[in-house]
C-alpha cells in the first residue's frame, strides 16, 4: 500500500461508508473556516488525500461549513445515504 506525503495510506477504505471520519478531518486540517465544499476539496487535494476522501467530499452539500464539527456532521449524513 502506497502512502502519501501526509502519511495516509492510499487504500484507506473500499467505500465511503467504511471511511474513518478522522481521515476527513486530517485531510482538511489547517483550513480557515468558514469553508466551502470547494475549499475543502482543494485543501484535501493539497494534502494528497486518498481518492475516497475526495469522493466523499464531492458528495457534500454545496454550502459553507463553519468548523470541523460541521464537516464531520455532513460526513455522517452522506454515510447514512
pLDDT in tens, the chain (81 residues): 333 444 444 445 678 888 999 999 999 999 999 999 999 999 999 999 999 999 999 999 999 999 999 999 999 999 987
Give the total number of structural domains in the chain: 1
Residue 53 lies in a domain: yes
Report if pTM > 0.85. no
Residue 32 lies in a domain: yes
Residue 23 lies in a domain: yes
Distances (CA, A) of 63 to 11, 15, 48: 28, 24, 23
Domain extent, residue 69, equals 16-80
Residue 11 lies in a domain: no
Residue 39 lies in a domain: yes
Residue 8 lies in a domain: no
Let me know how many helices (H) and strands (E) the chain has, helices first: 4, 2
Q: Please, what is the end-to-end C-alpha distance for the chain in angstroms?
A: 29
Amino acid at each position: 500500500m502506497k502512502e502519501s506525503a501526509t502519511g495516509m495510506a492510499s487504500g484507506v477504505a473500499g467505500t465511503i461508508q467504511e471511511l474513518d471520519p478522522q481521515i476527513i478531518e486530517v485531510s482538511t486540517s489547517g483550513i480557515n473556516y468558514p469553508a466551502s465544499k470547494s475549499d475543502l476539496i482543494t485543501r484535501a487535494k493539497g494534502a494528497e488525500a486518498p481518492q475516497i476522501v475526495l469522493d466523499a467530499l464531492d458528495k457534500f452539500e454545496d454550502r459553507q461549513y463553519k468548523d470541523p464539527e460541521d464537516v464531520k456532521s455532513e460526513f455522517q449524513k452522506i454515510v447514512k445515504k
